[in-house]
Amino acid sequence: MVYTDTRDKSVKADFKTAVLNGMNASTGGLYIPTSFPKINKSYIDRTPEPSFREIAFEMAKPYVEGEIPDSDLDAIIQDAYPFMPQVVPIDKVTYVLELFHGPTCAFKDFGARFMARVMSYFNRSENDNLHILVATSGDTGSAVGSAFHNVPGIDVTILYPDGKISPLQEKQLSTFDGNVRALKVKGNFDDCQKLVKTAFTDKDLRNKFRLSSANSINISRLLPQSFYYMYSALVVKNRIPQDSKIDTPAIIAVVPSGNFGNLTSGLIAYEMGAPITGFLAATNSNHTIPDWIATGNYKARDSVATLSNAMDVGAPSNYERIAAMYSLEQVRQLFASYWTDDAGTLEAIKRCNEKTGYVIDPHGAVAWKAWDEMRRSGMKDLVAGAKGDINKPGMTANIPSWASEVTDGKAVGIVLETAHPAKFGQTVQNAINRSPSMPDRLERVMNLEDHAIPMEKDYESFKDWLTSNL
Ligand SMILES: *Cc1c(COP(=O)(O)O)cnc(C)c1O
């Protein structure tokens, strides 16, 4: 596969370059495949549907062709995914896609574990370790740390702001041993990020060590997230005849979004032929993308803190990829979009539980609410001419090409549940008056001893530490 750049279409790169560079430093653009090959139709029509790992292999193959042979790709996938997404029906037309069955209980495990193994693969013939530096304000650190733990040829240093992340998050990223270390920095997240950025531009350090980042813009994190869209759409397609008896239903993927990486992965699956009709993009009060869809003006802004904090992004980095793949008019045909505030999020956790019995986390709740409102009255109102006020929670005014499927009752929703509710236990408890059950793997990590290393926020202290410890 040839990869190009969102800012300069004359750029041509192979997969290895795109993965190891992360972004294109000379343009500031993001790597993107030049085509999205369609999956064989016989595959999509198979009943029962192929397994998750089979789908993962088929979908990854064209993107690594010529660089990773089939047998090695298969080994990477088997090793990355000892767990699976789960499709859970909660009413006749609503399926929750649980993406939290990986080690850190959040959907980022799907992307991070594939990226870690691909990086290790491309580093296999080097004598020196590749050193990953990552600054985190919470969740990314644990997904990246866990994904690289014990992966050969790579070590990871995680920087987080001391005292500014939740106790569970701190345990999740500071209790690794071996190749994953955590530094608790006496400062805030911006200080952590500054230390990492300074290290990347420090020639002296770069001459001594091979440094790399593992952030969410890496194409090797986006591609594997497309696997679960294809898988869940095929599972749902095969179930609908029993569940809701709708003839040729429209499948709508409902995606709780921050940086819009997850949604971009959905677009990749759509282009590859997943039986998905459209997308419902759901955000919290950080509604930069809904506003863009509504007004046509993309205006990045500072983020505001919300209960679904992994979606607190005011300048979504994957806007660039979406705008490189589609015109605004195409986006308005393909997406409905919606946002809600914290009061709406709490209400959604409560109502979802009352109506369906399902305990949903604050991120998934934003998506569930978007779907619930759209299918009950939101789309009808839009079609009837409601304008949609972008300053108030609710749907934006664009009418996607599939609107009549919703108003005719011929649509089903796949609501992506991106984190286990126990990771946000207090918020869930506030909404439903009981705490969600705690999975064993979270319980276990709470009892581990942490090995975080205290670090000052000045660059010299950090550099000294790197020089004597890498
Ligand atoms: C990162 C994250 C999101 C947002 O995903 P994007 O790809 O940034 O849109 C949503 N929910 C949870 C739990 C997350 O960790």
pLDDT tens string 326-384? 999 999 999 999 999 999 999 999 999 999 999 999 999 999 999 999 999 999 999 99
Instruction: Please report, rounded to a whole number, the percentage of residues in the chain having pLDDT higher than 70.
Output: 100
Task: Out of 218, 259, 345, give the residue to mutate to test ligand 1, the one with the largest number of ligand atoms within 8 Å of its CB.
Answer: 259
- d(Cα 282, Cα 393) in Å, to the nearest integer? 11
Q: Is the CB of 108 under 6 A from ligand 1?
A: yes
- d(Cα 174, Cα 168) in Å, to the nearest integer? 10
Q: Which atom of ligand 1 is nearest to the CA of 256?
A: 10
pLDDT value at residue 167: 87
Average pLDDT over residues 398-409: 97
- d(Cα 158, Cα 142) in Å, to the nearest integer? 9
247, pLDDT greater than 80: yes
Q: Is the CB of 266 under 6 A from ligand 1?
A: no
Ligand 1 center to 109 CA (angstroms)? 11
pLDDT value at residue 137: 80
Residue pair 296/309 in contact (Cβ under 8 Å)? The answer is no
26, pLDDT greater than 90: no
Read off the tokens for 376.
Answer: 């009950």
pLDDT value at residue 323: 97
Q: Is the CB of 113 under 6 A from ligand 1?
A: no
Tell the residue nearest (CA) to atom 2 of ligand 1: 310
Ligand 1 center to 47 CA (angstroms)? 31
Q: Which atom of ligand 1 is nearest to the CA of 255?
A: 9
With cut-offs at 50, 70 and 90, classify the pLDDT of residue 121: very high
Q: What is the pTM of this model?
A: 0.96
Ligand 1 center to 79 CA (angstroms)? 23
Tell the residue nearest (CA) to atom 1 of ligand 1: 310
Ligand 1 center to 71 CA (angstroms)? 31
Average pLDDT over residues 189-215: 90
With cut-offs at 50, 70 and 90, classify the pLDDT of residue 200: confident
Q: Is the CB of 258 under 6 A from ligand 1?
A: yes
Read off the tokens for 22.
Answer: 């992360």
Tell the residue nearest (CA) to atom 14 of ligand 1: 310
Strand partners, 130: 154, 210
In angstroms, what CA-CA distances link 54 with 37, 51, 229, 331, 434? 16, 5, 14, 30, 39
H or E stretch at 336: strand 335-339
In angstroms, what CA-CA distances link 24 with 1, 9, 317, 325? 17, 12, 14, 18
Tell the residue nearest (CA) to atom 8 of ligand 1: 259
Name every residue whose Cβ is closer than 8 Å to that of residue 362 and which is 6 or more positions away in sequence.
307, 308, 345, 349, 424, 427, 428
pLDDT value at residue 139: 78
pLDDT tens string 268-327? 999 999 999 999 999 999 999 999 999 999 999 988 999 999 999 999 999 999 999 999
With cut-offs at 50, 70 and 90, classify the pLDDT of residue 389: confident
Q: Which atom of ligand 1 is nearest to the CA of 313?
A: 8
How many Å is the Cα radius of gyration of the chain?
Answer: 22
Q: Is the CB of 413 under 6 A from ligand 1?
A: no
pLDDT tens string 125-167? 999 999 999 998 877 889 999 999 999 999 999 999 999 888 8
In angstroms, what CA-CA distances link 45 with 50, 88, 233, 465? 10, 21, 11, 55
- pLDDT-wise least confident of 71-75, 301-305, 453-457: 301-305
- d(Cα 282, Cα 292) in Å, to the nearest integer? 13
- d(Cα 122, Cα 125) in Å, to the nearest integer? 8
Q: Is the CB of 372 under 6 A from ligand 1?
A: no
69, pLDDT greater than 80: yes
Q: Which residue has the higher pLDDT, 109 or 164?
A: 109
φ, ψ of residue 339 in degrees (nearest 5): -140, 155
466, pLDDT greater than 90: yes
> In 3D, which of 422, 468, 447, 441 has the Cα closest to residue 181?
468
With cut-offs at 50, 70 and 90, classify the pLDDT of residue 388: confident
pLDDT value at residue 392: 95
Q: Is the CB of 310 under 6 A from ligand 1?
A: yes
Q: Which atom of ligand 1 is nearest to the CA of 364?
A: 11
pLDDT tens string 299-314? 999 889 999 999 999 9
In angstroms, what CA-CA distances link 78 with 54, 64, 67, 375? 10, 16, 18, 38
Cα distance from N-terminal residue to C-terminal residue, the chain: 34
**Other CB atoms within 10 A of residue 280 CB:** 30
